[in-house]
Structure 1
Amino acid sequence: MAVLLRNPKTITRTTTCSIKPLSSCISRSFSSTTLNSETDLKVPSFFSCISPPLRQEPKDRNVQWVFLGCPGVGKGTYASRLSNLLGIPHIATGDLVREELNSSGTLSSQLKEIVNQGKLVSDEIIISLLSKRLEAGEAKGESGFILDGFPRTIRQAEILEGVTDIDLVVNLKLREEALLAKCLGRRICSQCGGNYNIASIDIKGENGKPGIYMAPLPAPPQCVPNLIQRADDTKEVVKERLRIYNEMSRPVEEFYRNRGKLLEFDLPGGIPESWPKLLEALNLDHEDKCTAAA
């Protein structure tokens, strides 16, 4: 799978992975900082950004990106695709916690106690796991990373800023009515664990907003009898999750917008419609976009 550049002559810089000592960041006293806003660039309607990434060869990109977005928007899907395309790891903090729980690591017993009591895992533990993972990747020669769904609060963003340098934050956005239908249509195979979606989303454009079409993701015949819905995928619960996320995410978006690192990408539909446009927004050309979007 090859990534093609639209204009290699525009390459002017290369970022490098730099992991800072954890102790230097979690011991700091944080306070909110007022920064001057920058002027938005004129860009295509399906995304907006303040500072688009420069076009670079994959081996030279050393990208250090964060993917944000509401629950169910598809952060993991698009982060995984870009991870495979660029040859860099896709790191989800939830996976790091699960891996530590199943290991004999130093934090395993502490995490088990926290989870068993139904408490939230602290920022310090999450950052400790993340810092350890980034340091291990740097030691193995990894050229960058894509973080999935982290940070979610200003404090987490400030701590992360002390651990490593983030180049770009991609904020995936989807209209609430489409996101709600997508979440309510999710199904899981109780036998193989596969994820599918029975929703056929076809929202007409109105008041200047474009229409959105997202085809169902049907399960294979052998999985159909075993499909189940997550207990928390109800209209009331999903709406509450979205409300909480929106309240928490706005300050984080502003944090990165003021630093010139936020790219807001409005999903125009499902993967076939969105994937080529996301590559364009990231200044990546792929020789076979149709195949990549399948």
Structure 2
Amino acid sequence: MAALTRLLVRPRSLSLARTFSAAASTTTTTTTTTTTETDSLLRFSSPSPPSPSPSPSPSPSPSLPRLARRGPDDRNVQWVFLGCPGVGKGTYASRLCNLLGVPHIATGDLVRDEMKSSGPLSTQLTEISNQGQLVSDEIIIDLLSKRLEAGEAKGELGFILDGFPRTIRQAEILEGVADIDLVINLKLREDVLIEKCLGRRICSQCGGNFNIANIDIKGGNGSPGIYMAPLLPPPSCATKLITRADDTEEVVKERLRIYNDMSQPVEEFYRGKGKLLEFDLPGGIPESWPKLLQVLNLDDHDDKQSAAA
């Protein structure tokens, strides 16, 4: 089983109470211990002076269930994954969740599940997704709140959030209800991101996710090369592949533009707290997964056994 990472700070309990007002959330100052970088791909940000906060919105703030705070042995990690659409947040977050024994909570999955339902939000979310726009804070927080309460009922301890927070407002709300230990920001050059998104395919029968893009970019002018092999389907799925409606070049570029405009303040928010770890993906899963484990000071025994076999 994996060793716990040295980067954790102040673990707390995941027990939920009722809602709270995010507008009154208070930030806490954390002290970052200086460590030697174990890999050139890791940039662990030191705290910086906080930027002036924007004027609060006069509208009522949405709310999440408060995560009650108890002793250090009551829960597992509380991590966040940031990164552009298509960078692989879901892939690496789900692998780490399996390794650490915590739930993977992806807001994108919550939205897609709601879109498949017959609920009142289904049509609205489908239209937003097809246009490459971001779902409003109110909708995301409502879906996430329901997911956290369902997790409490099942006795879940800890989590890795994928796709939340995307705005400063969401980050402040989350700060008021949870002690986030670490924020992992996955980075990948834009031309590769676009090619990856356009190569995504889904099996219409089993729901499996695949990627037909074969990315092989040679290095030059001081920039490293990057190789990402395609993730091809088994023969049983090969004739049943479909493309997501929002995976067109126009929508992908618009999605990336919106994300980049909104992500910088969120990155600065967590950089100022000394919680932001930036990781440049060097390639596909075979190249990136071992290096990510290395910078997190984790060990995947199952991965080693598979390689040995």
- The answer to whether TM tops 0.5 is yes
The code of the aligned residue for 1:163 comes to V
**Who is 1:16 aligned against?**
12
Q: Does residue 77 of the first structure (1) align with residue 91 of the second (2)?
A: yes
Structure 1 gap ranges (5+): 52-58
Matches within 5 A, 1:255-274: 255-274=269-288
Post-superposition offset of 1:48:
1.0
Matches within 5 A, 1:19-168: 23-26=19-22, 28=23, 43=37, 44-50=39-45, 62-97=76-111, 109=120, 111-112=121-122, 114-115=124-125, 122-138=136-152, 140-168=154-182
Of 201, 209, 213, the residue aligned with 2:227 is: 213
Q: Does residue 196 of the first structure (1) align with residue 210 of the second (2)?
A: yes
**Who is 1:3 aligned against?**
2
The code of the aligned residue for 2:192 comes to A
The code of the aligned residue for 2:76 comes to N
**Are residues 186 and 132 of structure 1, via their aligned partners in 2, closer, same or farther at CA, if it must alter by over 3 Å?**
closer
SS in 2 for 1:263: strand
Stretch moving more, 117-126 or 215-224: 117-126
**Are residues 47 and 116 of structure 1, via their aligned partners in 2, closer, same or farther at CA, if it must alter by over 3 Å?**
closer
C-alpha distance in 2, partners of 1:78/1:259? 23
**Are residues 292 and 167 of structure 1, via their aligned partners in 2, closer, same or farther at CA, if it must alter by over 3 Å?**
farther
**Are residues 177 and 121 of structure 1, via their aligned partners in 2, closer, same or farther at CA, if it must alter by over 3 Å?**
closer
C-alpha distance in 2, partners of 1:102/1:187? 18
**Who is 1:55 aligned against?**
none
Structure 2 gap ranges (5+): 47-72
Matches within 5 A, 1:248-259: 248-259=262-273
The code of the aligned residue for 1:68 comes to L
**Are residues 185 and 290 of structure 1, via their aligned partners in 2, closer, same or farther at CA, if it must alter by over 3 Å?**
farther
Structure 1 contact 48–263 (Cα < 8 Å) conserved: yes
Post-superposition offset of 1:69:
0.9
Post-superposition offset of 1:5:
6.4
Identity over aligned residues, as a percent?
69
Structure 1 contact 14–61 (Cα < 8 Å) conserved: no
Structure 1 contact 114–121 (Cα < 8 Å) conserved: no
**Alignment length, in residue pairs?**
275
Stretch moving more, 239-248 or 226-235: 226-235
C-alpha distance in 1, partners of 2:12/2:174? 16
